[in-house]
Amino acid sequence: MADKTQAGDRTEANEAQIAVHWKEEQYFQPSKAFIDQANMRDPNIRTRFGEDNFPDCFKDYADMLTWSTPYDKVLDTNNPPFWKWFTGGKLNASYNCIDRHLAQYRNKAAFIFVAEPEEDPPVVLTYQELYIRVNEMAALLRDFCGLKAGDRVTLHLPMTPDLPITMLACARLGVIHSQVFGGFSGHSCGSRIEDSGSRILISTDAYWRSGKLIDHKVNADIAVQTAEEMGQHVDKVLIWQRYPGKYSSPTPMVKGRDFFVNDVLKQYAGKYVEPVPMDSEAPLFLMYSSGTTGKPKGCQHRTGGYLAYVAGTSRYIEDIHPTDTYWCMADIGWITGHSYIVYGPLLLAATSVIYEGTPTYPDVRRPWRIAERLGVNIFHTSPTAVRALRRLGPDEPSKCNYQFKHMTTVGEPIEPSAWRWYYDEVGKGQAVIVDTWWQTENGGFLCSTVPALDAMKPGSAGPALPGIYPIIYDDDGEEVAKGSGRAGNMCIRNPWPGIMQTIWGNDQRFVDTYYKRYCKNPQSKDWRDWPYMSGDGAMQAEDGYFRILGRIDDVINVSGHRLGTKEIESACLTVPEVAEAAVVPVVDEIKGRVPDVYVALSPGDYKAEEVAARVIQACDDAIGKIARPRHVYVVPDMPKTRSGKIMRRVLGAISNGADVGDVTTLANASVVEDIRVVVRDQNAGGKPQG
Ligand code: WT7
């Protein structure tokens, strides 16, 4: 039977509805060949990580790290929900990712960089070479920029090795890095500079994307200006050159403020910087993510717990061995890249591939050529990429001579038909698949099968990871019966080492967002009273597997990445003619969801088409192209409740061609029909009317 979520069906309004159409699927078993070599083969792993052994079970992960001072306590719950992990311990992230591997793996590849232009051969960075570069960069950050432990630095870098070199150089000094996804606009970078209080911005001149060498330096200027306007001064802008020795951007350098990293680095050639032993609880990095308000939150991740958690999950769930060539196609600018391109693989001395460009450039066979050429055996990507690669080149993987042992999917629910193509064609029927559910806040995976132990079930992320105890609550705070298949709010009962420490500079928002709703007793120091609320809907089947249904808040998951509707709406409202804006998610056959924008204009004589173009430009400028609306509908008025609230539900239904339901309680019910006409005309090929 065709499943309802296949390409072409755009009538579903939300993930919950989609989920209902997914039947329970058959199980797939991992192959004997995979099992025989797997890192985690102990069938008692979940008992070992069970509640009776919590939190000490996580010593297993902490032991994967090298501590300069051993920790004395696994978990400190004195100030809920501000948990502390491995307290008393000290360690350095850069030392753990690099130095400690040198004796055994000095000239093994740490990173292999694949540039987008295919005529450029892959560039190998050995552990030794990475060590040299990170030390030199750390010397530059310390001596040229005056940075020290605890300072924040904003990075706005694309997918080249300069990014992990910079991250690891910061980590060597205990400087907190805050990498902003390279595709985000200069403006969003600037507001993150301000929020984090960075006085140094590290960017680049240019990078390749879909065959174009994109000017990125221009964003640095916008970012600095935005930050200045918000009250944060930037002293220095460091610009990496995509081609060292050559400036590839038309945007001028600002004298006295902007410096080429490559030039300045010459003063630090061969310098060694002692890795600074950091408290286990010292922040390692910030990663901004969208929430329900307009202001992105800086998820603050700790050193010890985070590193322990990504090491453990990279070993057991990603099944990374030092001999593996591992390729995660995500961007390092997202949490997936931090945890599972940089920190996790390097902690395990693996070889991690960094690909600069678009997966489908110059053609849809590119990923499979890369896999063949580099001998990639572990592959990691999103359902969005799987859908796109399938649609454009369903038979392409078979034309390349590679063989994966293991594949990951992350970021959004994957529909069973896409899962099966991934399994049959990309994995050639031999690779095990893990569908990993987690969030920027979480540091690492929360739900997934343990690949050698649990059967795979398409469309379900699987059981919780060892040491993670989920619970589904209904809106009244009652537990939804385990295994009942009923939907509710996905929560985690216990703390785990990868959970963020707080929202940078906003402890109250941290408590309110994740813990307030289901906290059983705000006075309690017992972790059992403080379940973490994920913001996702989920249901658990009889076999204990979780199916994630998507966000229950005002967050749109575009290609597996979060955009706040409020952020997009504020961008639309910067267009002077726009009086009101509402953003709703519309189902997209490739990206999962994309934003649709409805705007009502202030009185005046405007061309709807022109306003719509300005709205799109405003979204590009404020956030980045990732937030670009599919449609901008200029409507006569918004559907509103009697108290004046915009009914986004009604707009969402119209966008998705679904039933709008009961609208009789609206203050202006008749506008619904007018809006429907606007939408229908525009989708019939018409231009926005004005
Ligand atoms: C949201 C988190 C950390 C991964 C990259 C995205 C959705 C994530 C899955 C999955 C269904 C998933 C959730 C979550 N999500 N993984 N395997 N199945 N949905 O990180 O930007 O913080 O987004 O992505 O809705 O809340 P993020």
Q: What is the 3-state secondary structure (H, E, C) of 171-222?
A: HHHCCEEEECCCCECHHHHHHHHHHHCCCEEEEECEEEECCEEEECHHHHHH
Residue 64 pLDDT level (bands cut at 50, 70, 90): very high
In this model, does residue 1 exceed pLDDT 80? Answer: no
Q: Is residue 550 lining ligand 1, measured as CB closer than 6 Å? A: yes
Distance in Å, CA 617 to ligand 1 centroid? 27
Q: How far is the CA of 566 from the centre of ligand 1 (A)?
A: 19
Q: Is pLDDT above 60 for 458?
A: yes
pLDDT at residue 374 tops 90: yes
Give the distance, in angstroms, between the CA of residue 655 and the centroid of all CA atoms in the same chain.
26
| pLDDT tens track for 575-621 | 999 989 999 999 998 998 999 999 999 999 999 999 999 999 999 99
- 573, 592, 639, 662, 671 from 565: Cα distances, Å: 12, 16, 17, 23, 22
Q: Which of 338, 410, 434 to probe ligand 1 with, by most ligand atoms within 8 A of CB?
A: 410
Which residue's CA is minimally distant from atom 14 of ligand 1? 439
**% residues pLDDT > 70 (the chain):** 96
Q: Ligand 1 centre from 487 Cα, in Å? A: 17
- Ligand 1 centroid to residue 308 C-alpha, Å: 21
> 392 CA to middle of ligand 1, Å?
24
Percent over 90 (pLDDT), the chain: 85
Q: Which residue has the higher pLDDT, 660 or 354?
A: 354
| Helix, strand, coil percent values for the chain (each to nearest 5) | 30, 25, 45
Of 268-277, 365-374, 399-408, 543-552, the poorest mean pLDDT is in: 543-552
Q: What confidence category does residue 561 fall into, taking pLDDT thresholds of 50, 70 and 90?
A: confident
pLDDT at 663: 86
Angle at 241 between CA 249 and CA 121, to 5 degrees: 110
Q: For residue 317, report the distance from its CA to the centre of ligand 1, in Å.
A: 16
Instruction: Report, as an integer, the average pLDDT of 371-377.
Output: 98
Supply the residue whose CA is at minimum distance from atom 2 of ligand 1.
439
For residue 394, give the DSSP letter. T
Q: Is the CB of 336 under 6 A from ligand 1?
A: yes
Mutate to test the pocket of ligand 1, among 18, 381, 412, 539 (most ligand atoms within 8 A of CB): 412
Average pLDDT estimate for 437-465: 97
Please say if the pLDDT value at position 2 is more than 70.
no
Can you list the positions of beta strands (E) in 40-160? 73-76, 84-87, 90-91, 109-114, 123-126, 152-155
* Cα atoms in the 13 Å half-sphere on the side-chain side of 451: 30
- Predicted local confidence at residue 12, as pLDDT: 30
What's the gap in Å between 445 CA and the centre of ligand 1? 10
Residue that the structure tokens 């993510």 belong to = 289
**461 close to ligand 1 (CB < 6 Angstrom):** yes
Ligand 1 atom index nearest CA of 561: 21
- Whether the bond between 463 and the residue before it is cis, its omega within 30 degrees of 0, is no
| pLDDT at res. 687 | 65
Nearest CA to ligand 1 atom 20: 439
pLDDT of 9 reads 27
Closest CA relative to residue 138, chosen from 279, 268, 303, 307: 268
Find the 381 Cα to ligand 1 centroid distance in Å: 12
Angle between helices 127-139 and 162-173 (to 10 degrees): 60
The alpha carbon of 413 and the centre of ligand 1 are apart by a number of angstroms equal to: 8
Tell me, using a 6 A CB cutoff, whether residue 563 lines ligand 1.
Answer: no
- Determine the distance separating the centroid of ligand 1 and the alpha carbon of 412, expressed in angstroms: 5
- Atom 10 of ligand 1: nearest residue by CA position: 437
What tokens appear for 304 in the block?
């010890």
Is residue 417 within 6 Å of ligand 1 at its C-beta? Answer: no
The overall pTM is greater than 0.85:
yes
Going by their DSSP bridges, the two strands 212-215 and 278-279 should be labelled as: unpaired
Cα-to-centroid distance, 550 and ligand 1 (Å): 8
Residue 165 has pLDDT above 60, yes or no: yes
Task: Give the Cβ contact number of residue 247 at 10 Å.
Answer: 16
Q: Which ligand 1 atom is nearest residue 534's CA?
A: 26
CA distance 115 to 125: 13
Among the atoms of ligand 1, which is closest to the Cα of residue 440? 22
Q: Is the CB of 300 under 6 A from ligand 1?
A: no
Q: Is the CB of 438 under 6 A from ligand 1?
A: yes
Instruction: Please name the amino acid found at residue 684.
Output: A
Centre of ligand 1 from the C-alpha of residue 23, in Å:
21
Q: Which of 500, 548, 549, 567 to mutate to test the pocket of ligand 1 (most atoms within 8 A of CB)?
A: 548
557 lines ligand 1 (CB under 6 A): yes
CA distance 237 to 497: 34
- Beta carbon of 335 within 6 Å of any ligand 1 atom: yes
Greater confidence, 451 or 16? 451
Q: Which residue has the higher pLDDT, 655 or 21?
A: 655
Q: Which residues contact 190 (CB under 8 A, 6 or more apart)?
A: 222, 223, 224, 225, 226, 227, 229, 230
Strand, helix or coil for residue 590:
coil
Q: What is the mean pLDDT of the chain?
A: 94
Task: For ligand 1, say whether the CB of 435 is within 6 Å of any of its atoms.
Answer: yes
Kindly state if the Cβ of 650 falls inside 6 Å of ligand 1. no
What is the predicted pLDDT for the residue at 21? 55
Copy the structure tokens of residue 32.
């004997």
Give 292's pLDDT tier (boundaries 50, 70, 90).
Answer: confident
Rounded to an integer, what distance in angstroms lies between the CA atom of residue 416 and that of residue 438? Answer: 19
